[in-house]
Amino acid sequence: MAAVERALGRLADAGRRHPDEQALLASVLEGLRRRPKRISPVWFYDERGSCLFDEICELPEYYLTRVELSILRGRLSEIAASVGPDLCVIEPGSGTSTKTRMLLDALERPAAYVPVDVACEHLEAAAERLRREHDRLKVHAICADFTAPFSIPEGAPFRNRLVYFPGSTIGNFDRSEAVRLLSHLRRVARGGSMLIGVDMVKDRRVMVAAYDDAAGVTAAFNLNALEHLNRRLGSDFDPAGFHHRAVWNAVASRIEMHLVSRQRQLVRIGDDFVCFAAGEALVSEYSHKYTPQTFAAMAAAAGWHVGQVWTDPREWFSLQRLVADCSSISAGDRGCRVHAPCPSDTA
């Protein structure tokens, strides 16, 4: 999956210049050669997919956004005080930046906001809105895949960094990918802190319904990944030949979104043909759910320790403040300069 995201990131970075079709194609084919077949959830987020995701967030079954917002709203001043003033807020996978507004309004003198997202137009529109609303805030939108290295523009006093990673996006990554990403984000934070949204294990029916809503928005969101693939790779997936399915994998503690082939079929991708058996699943997303213990252990493996956990009365969702664990940072990483200017920002 990381390979797909890197390739997609390169493509996004290149903008309208020279799309790296070959690498993208190769990484998609690599996923389709696995058993079960897999595609990256990054494929959900073209313009239509980003809008469908915003619709999902309003669904009665999709508790994640609502509960996270209620935690944020209820504990806002406490959260803002715990992360401190004059922050450069970096948000990987920022989307529409709805949850960010509340945080930015509560923070003391936020210096800059750096949203990072692959859906470039969506990103720019959100950045523009924020610029209009906060005239003293520097907003630097970066259109990139946040799992690959991205550079933050120089010239701004980006000292105290806060990585804001709400929404339980971390759930999309399996354990080794998540540890790698959290380590990467610790370097991005440069010894600062992170505010991360983490979805918790709960009644299976609640979790499954959140990914299989009655109105069928999640189904449309899932199937849209095939349209996106077709447009970017010139493949010929027939979305009508697949149906949406959400399953709880108890062993791996995750919801899995599948696209299930309705019949035996061949799909052309580049010069290759991929065969799907009737009933065969293409895995389009993992959404891992954690307990306080499993998440803390994973964060620790990435060099973070849990400073605070805020949760709702039913403990369905949590917002956690992670602090870079200085003892785990190797020499030369420069990861632990909490109050000093960052070398490359002042150079």
* Binding positions for ligand AVJ, rule: CB under 6 A: 56, 64, 167-169, 171-172, 211, 218, 257, 285, 287
| Least distance to ligand AVJ, CB of residue 68, Å | 10
Tokens of 328: 């785990």
Euclidean distance between CA atoms 335 and 324, whole angstroms: 8
- Tell me 153's DSSP state: P
| Least distance to ligand AVJ, CB of residue 96, Å | 12
Whether 6 contacts 26, CB under 8 Å: no
Nearer Cβ to ligand AVJ (166/303): 166
| Least distance to ligand AVJ, CB of residue 239, Å | 16
| Least distance to ligand AVJ, CB of residue 221, Å | 6
| Least distance to ligand AVJ, CB of residue 112, Å | 24
| Least distance to ligand AVJ, CB of residue 50, Å | 11
Euclidean distance between CA atoms 105 and 134, whole angstroms: 9
Euclidean distance between CA atoms 255 and 262, whole angstroms: 21
CB-based closest residue to ligand AVJ: 287
Nearer Cβ to ligand AVJ (92/167): 167
Tokens of 340: 């000093």
- Strand (E) positions, the chain? 37-38, 87-92, 112-117, 138-139, 142-143, 160-165, 193-199, 242-249, 254-261, 265-269, 272-276, 281-288, 304-311, 317-324
For residue 69, the tally of other CB atoms under 10 A from its CB is 17
Nearer Cβ to ligand AVJ (64/195): 64
Cβ-based burial of 347 (10 A; exposed 0-12, middle 13-18, buried ≥19)? exposed
Nearer Cβ to ligand AVJ (159/258): 258
Nearer Cβ to ligand AVJ (69/274): 69
Nearer Cβ to ligand AVJ (141/223): 223
